[in-house]
Chain A
């Protein structure tokens, strides 16, 4: 009878031991995933009086697209121009860019045009609203997923 009690106690002890060992697992949480960094593209060129220019880019995923008319310089290196231009975003259509959203803006270093767009191919377009009297060198920055 005493031997049976001892055996039962030993069985109980090893059961508790087993449970404790299982409970002692890895307490570390799963490693957080790092969100993908946005892509920055720079679109530069020379805009003629009454002219326009566009640049195509591809979104790998749905997200926010920020477009900045960053610079207008008539003669580089030289004084910057504050001329107001048209700046738009849309989809490429044959040899042009079909604009779906646009603003009129002077150059700056904060995005003037911000849109949430689905994954796909889009274009940014800059165009003279009639204010240019001579060609200018422009620089547009596009930040997208």
Chain B
């Protein structure tokens, strides 16, 4: 077994090299600790979302869906389909204090179509939209499809 012995003179000669190596290692390790990934700058654009209510409405009944508008903007409501085809009341509003019923702000009597029958400006918040029977729905009810777009 070979024993390596360092003389004092040898230690003195490599001391500055060791010191520089240690400093270099520390400097490299002392970087920015934040790990935030680089992301493209965000832009504020109105994101429109679409939600669909598909359900069966009984005679004298209502069918409504709740949705959340994340920001101010325009809500549109489309009665897209009713089977059998009948004219229905279509409305948009907010839930009452009990949360059970949809209290309409705007309503229209309409047959199914392809362009929104209702359009209303809203603040951010929770809203509801749906249909109600205006006396045209017979047994066993009507299948409705309502499409809502909102910010």
Contacts and interface: CB of A to CB of B under 8 A. Distances in A.
Given A77-B132, A109-B120, A139 B97 contact: yes
A110 B132 contact: no
Interface stretch (B39-47, B78-86, B99-107): B99-107
Interface in B75-130: 75, 89, 91-98, 101-107, 109, 120-123, 125-127
Contacts of A66: 123
A77 B96 CA distance: 12
Interface of B: 12, 15-16, 19, 22-23, 26-27, 29-30, 32-34, 62, 72, 75, 89, 91-98, 101-107, 109, 120-123, 125-127, 132-133
Given A20-B26, A80-B91, A110-B123, A27 B15 contact: no
B132 A71 contact: no
A94 to B, nearest CB: 24
Given A6-B15, A77-B101, A108-B105, A44 B122 contact: no
Contacts of B102: 77
A71 B15 contact: no
30 contacts: A9-B15, A10-B15, A20-B27, A23-B30, A24-B30, A26-B33, A28-B34, A42-B97, A44-B98, A66-B123, A71-B93, A71-B103, A71-B104, A77-B89, A79-B104, A80-B91, A80-B104, A80-B106, A107-B105, A108-B105, A108-B121, A109-B75, A109-B92, A110-B121, A110-B122, A111-B123, A137-B96, A139-B97, A143-B123, A143-B125
A70 B103 contact: yes
Contacts of A16: 23
A43 interface: yes
A64 B27 CA distance: 51
Top 3 closest pairs, chain A to chain B, by CB = A71-B103, A77-B132, A44-B97
Contacts of B95: 42
B60 to A, nearest CB: 9
Contacts of B19: 9, 13
Contacts of A139: 93-94, 96-97, 103
Contact of A78 (B16, B22, B89): B89
A35 B80 CA distance: 40
Contacts of B22: 13, 17
A24 B89 contact: no
A77 B128 CA distance: 13
Contacts of A141: 94, 125
B26 A17 contact: yes
A108 to B, nearest CB: 6
A44 B96 contact: yes
